[in-house]
A and B are shown apart, each in its own frame.
Chain A
Amino acid sequence: MATATLVLTRVRIRGRIGLVLRVALVLAALALVAYPLLYGGDVWAQRISRAAIYAIIGLSINTLTGHAGQISLGHQAFVGIGAFFAAFTASRLGAPLGFGLAAAALAGTVTALLVGMVALRVTGLYLALVTLAFGLTAETTIFNWREFTGGGAGAFAPRPALVETDFAYAVLCLGVLALVLYADWRLVSTKAGRALAAVRNDEDIAATLGVNVTGYKLGAFCLSGLIAGLAGGLFAYWNQVVQALDFEFQVALVWVLMTVVGGLRSRLGVVIASSFFALLPLTLPNFLSGLPWQPPFLNEAVYHVLPPFIVVVMLLVVLRFFPGGLGQLLAPVTGPATRGSKGARR
């Protein structure tokens, strides 16, 4: 009897600590974003939008690779098609922003569904190759289709008055990120999360437990494509012009690796790593040109190849020391928070 009470109190305390910790984490994250957003001017507002868009892309890859265990090296196609659809509806059809984002999400979903249908037949390395080939093909075909993408000049996506300022647009991007984070949280907390964990580990076991393996794999592709398309739409209005070279394979490679560095299935880790790689190309040239000594092989021309190099180095470090990614490093902080909530529910 005494032990039961003791356990109950401990569970309750753990639950409460968990709640306090989570609230503290959310407040800290908000403060971290709010400060530069409020006091950093347009430059930082733009950067925060870009970080949020990258985080959404990271969560899209996390859905597919982290939750469903399917790899995609062609994510630039999903994001790019979303971006071009948004730009097309904005500039050609004069559609409102909400419609543009919905079209982008739908385009991403449909594209991912098509790739997913192929993915049902191949796994692992072959799936990586199929998605890689798909991404490269999309780059050279759809993205260079002049009537649709405006060719080399790109397609324009003017922002509507409501989100015309960089500040307002950053708030919009953060709002969408919050929605995606919410969906990811509910996904792992409900039946779909458990079903995907089963599919990821053993498809025969999953099926024997009544999980429609085919359906869940396709569903994961669709959801990943939807989020990627949405990110593409946000990118279109953020940059206000979309060009094929915004979606080169190199970018997709960074996206996949940044998600792994952040830690598959770790929301916080993915968001942090994605933000880091979103800001890296913007801050790195300034940082390098500010150095007292310039290595002769570093110049403006090679700056854009540095992020892929840096992400690979980080990947090696992460895989060697924290196979769970940044998320594993953050576990001492986030672990009690999530475990506490479980204790409270029990």
Chain B
Amino acid sequence: MKRTGRQLLKVEGLGLRFGGLQVLDDLSLTVGEGRIVGLIGPNGAGKTSCFNCLTGVYRPQQGRVFFDGREVSRLPTHRRARLGMARTWQNLGVIESLTVTENVMLAQHQRTGYSALAGLLGLAGTWGRERELRRDADEIIDYFGLADVADERVGELPYGVRKTCDMAMALASDPKLLLLDEPASGLSPEEALGLADTLRELRDRLRLTILMIEHHVPLVAEVCDHVYVLDFGRLLTEGGPEEIQRHPEVITAYLGGSHGTA
């Protein structure tokens, strides 16, 4: 499934410091269009911080981020989102006081096609557009099997359902690049492998590019075309999933010396 496309995401020499703590140090990586790339590393290696720098939640002191052929290092988060960057969150990016449908419609924010003021005044076009958005949201909700809970407040739903809702939201924004922060956490091993099929299907059907943080090694091995390994904020190594699993430094750093063949 390898494609020789252009680079959708390129990061050069990212450096992030919190006070005296060097969270990311000269981190560079690239993600080619249409690929599924893994970002792994032990806890505290800076993986989520890296996501926060990519999306603009954190402002790194050094380095540049290129997305879809333009530099986005100075763009605020919402502008990067509008260029086609979507993400899920480790502790879930759902709004608990809204229903599942409302959350998915919230994720469609950038393609509502009318201004906030027009909506507020109830101008003619906004009513029909709202109906269309709701129909689109229902489609996404059906795809993820959330139809039964569509009108429930997300805060009242179990963790697994909220996690699915988070994923549905990331897709509802119609992104080019999907950043997934531990999509398999909280899933059973079988569910995690089922996720591999979902991710591949999403990539092929929606022509998505995926960068994912994941601890679940079988999933990474199964689905990723390329893997970056992070340790103490630095790039330890990179390569294909088989290569990475045999890499001695990775085994020491990431698997903690236990020579498990995952």
State the A residues within 8 Å of B (CB): 182-183, 186-187, 189-192, 194-195, 197-198, 200-202, 204-213, 216, 219, 223, 339, 342-343, 345-346
Contact = CB atoms under 8 A, between A and B. Distances in A.
A207 B76 contact: yes
B205 interface: no
Q: Contact size class for B?
A: 35 or more
Q: Name the residue in B56, B77, B112, B122 with the highest tally of chain A Cβ atoms < 10 Å from its Cβ.
A: B77
Interface in B63-116: 76-78, 81-82, 86-87, 89, 93-98, 101-102, 105-107, 109-110, 112, 114, 116
Interface string B135-155: 000100000000000110000
A183 to B, nearest CB: 6
The 6 closest A-B CB pairs, nearest first, are A190-B119, A207-B77, A210-B110, A210-B81, A192-B116, A194-B106
B106 A195 contact: yes
B181 to A, nearest CB: 11
Contact of B109 (A195, A201, A202, A346): A195
Contacts of B126: 186, 190
Given A201-B96, A208-B93, A213-B78, A192 B120 contact: yes
A202 B103 CA distance: 13
8 contacts: A195-B106, A197-B106, A201-B95, A201-B96, A204-B57, A208-B81, A211-B106, A346-B150
Contacts of A190: 112, 114, 116, 119-120, 126, 130
**Residue among A213, A345, A346 with the highest chain B CB neighbour number at 10 A:** A346
Given A190-B126, A191-B116, A211 B109 contact: yes
B124 interface: no
Given A187-B119, A194-B106, 11 more contacts: A186-B119, A190-B130, A191-B112, A191-B119, A195-B116, A207-B76, A207-B81, A208-B77, A208-B78, A208-B87, A209-B81
B102 A339 contact: no
Given A198-B106, A207-B56, A207-B77, A219 B131 contact: no
Contacts of A195: 106, 109, 116
Contacts of A208: 55, 57, 77-78, 81, 86-87, 93
Contacts of B151: 339, 342-343, 346
B109 A209 contact: yes
Nearest to B118: A190
A204 B48 CA distance: 13
A210 B95 contact: no
